[in-house]
Amino acid sequence: MDLQAAQIRIEQLKEWIAKHDFLYYVKDNPQISDQEYDQLMQELIQLEGNFPELLTVDSPTQRVGGEPLPFFEKVEHSSPMLSLGNAFNVDDLRDFDRRVKQHVGEHSVKYVCELKIDGLAVSLRYEAGMFVQGATRGDGSIGEDITLNLRTIRSLPLKLTEPRTIEVRGEAFMPKPAFEKINRLRAEQGEALFANPRNVAAGSLRQLDPKLAAARELDIFLYGVGSLEGEHVDSHSEALDYLETLGFKVNPKRRLFASMEEVIEFVEAWTLKRSELPYEIDGLVVKVDSFAQQQELGSTARSPRWAVAYKFPAEEAVTVLEDIEVSV
């Protein structure tokens, strides 16, 4: 492909991705599958890699998420809430491992492996142990204040076991049984069915009336710390254990591994048994455990270099919804 053809294709991809970002992040009503979206994004990443002179700062490959909705108060995150680089097969995971080791210059890297919950990324702020503010990821720097809606999630502690000032990050989601129940009720009442639990969770948390979120039986897993005053932890695995002692719900399926080959075995096992879970996952997240190594690796504008999201293959997808009107 020559430069001119690449430019035309890049413009087309940017336009499509911008349209689907709007439908997904702002409308909570995507019209293509995540796998189709990921293919568009991968093609754009590849073309920008081959023609770096065509890379612009407004490219979706350089940005996180969508715009915050104007009718919510805006919240500035204490540190950016980034996206994650993707791995689509085990070779991508091995490449990630090689890049990490090249960068940190040593061969003992431990990895934490977590389920990638398919919901809405949120940030929770506690002052002296009390829940004071919750926000969406938004564009990564500025999110929407959805405190009142988050307070309706029963598993979200309103008070911690210690009087800590802390900002934690996690994924709010709708468990499968709650999703099935809500669609059964809607079917009985002749209402349009919801497309998938992710969109209902995201749509419910971005409603102006908290009663609506309260009726939706949402849940939350916490998986990271944005900022923490007065406690010293050296690794991601310790941080997750500490979040648990504070009273947060942390996914129990997480595991710490000493090699990428063990990570790959874990990833392959979950690829086969993901449907057994009572909530939806779209992959697994692999993170360098040591905070010192994470700091050395740093981040790009869009994602940390110390983590990667392994996405399940397309044939696992069940997103065909013909003859059903879909709404949130």
Active site members: 116
User: Which member of 34, 144, 280, 289 binds ligand NAD (CB under 6 A)?
Assistant: 34
Binding letters toward ligand NAD, positions 190-219, x by CB under 6 A: ------------------------------
When the beta carbons of 143 and 157 are compared against ligand NAD, the nearer one is 143
Which one of the spans 49-57, 116-124, 182-190, 229-237 is the region binding ligand NAD (CB under 6 A)? 116-124
Which one of the spans 17-25, 50-58, 71-79, 260-268 is the region binding ligand NAD (CB under 6 A)? 17-25
* Residues in 225-264 at the binding interface with ligand NAD, rule: CB under 6 A: none
> CA 254, CA 107: separation in Å to the nearest integer?
22
Does residue 116 belong to the site contacting ligand NAD (CB under 6 A)?
A: yes
Does residue 316 belong to the site contacting ligand NAD (CB under 6 A)?
A: no
Tell whether residue 37 is among the known ligand binding residues.
Answer: yes
Tell whether residue 284 is among the known ligand binding residues.
Answer: no
Does residue 314 belong to the site contacting ligand NAD (CB under 6 A)?
A: no
Tell whether residue 171 is among the known ligand binding residues.
Answer: yes
Cβ 250 to ligand NAD shortest distance, Å: 9
Which one of the spans 27-35, 43-51, 103-111, 234-242 is the region binding ligand NAD (CB under 6 A)? 27-35
Tell whether residue 38 is among the known ligand binding residues.
Answer: yes
Tell whether residue 23 is among the known ligand binding residues.
Answer: no
Instruction: Calculate the dihedral angle through the C-alpha atoms of 92, 94, 96, 98, rounding to the nearest 10 degrees.
Output: -140
**Residues within the annotated binding site?**
34-38, 83-84, 114, 137, 171, 287, 311
Known binding-site residue numbers for NAD(+): 34-38, 83-84, 114, 137, 171, 287, 311
Q: Which residues contact ligand NAD by CB under 6 A?
A: 20-21, 23-24, 30, 32-34, 37-38, 64-65, 83-84, 86, 114, 116-117, 121, 137, 171, 223, 285, 309
